[in-house]
Amino acid sequence: MLICFQQNSKLNVPLKLSDYYYQLPVSRIAQEPLVQRDMAKLLVYQQGQITDFYFHQIPDLLPSDSFLVSTIPK
């Protein structure tokens, strides 16, 4: 999961782990990675709406002064 905020923004709503529990049909779970990994779907929440994008579009979605932090699973 990747959550991005502007540096000077403040999150007004506390996040709870239970907020991320939801039903996902097995048919919607990828069984193997895409050959073109940057074509993975990316759900973007902006101004109260969720929109579908693809991961290769992430540079167009972030402000120019953004930086990303990610972790590599063990």
Task: Name the pLDDT band for 4 (thresholds 50, 70, 90).
Answer: low
Region of 48 (left: φ > 0; alpha: ψ -120 to 50; beta: rest) is left
Q: pLDDT for 15-71, tens place per residue?
A: 788 877 888 888 888 889 899 999 999 888 888 888 999 999 998 998 888 888 888
53: helix, strand or coil: strand
Q: Where are the domains of the chain?
A: 38-69
Instruction: Give me the pLDDT at residue 8, please.
Output: 59
Which segments within 19-69 are labelled E, that is strand?
Answer: 41-46, 49-54
58: helix, strand or coil: helix
H or E element: which one contains 59? helix 58-61
pTM: 0.56
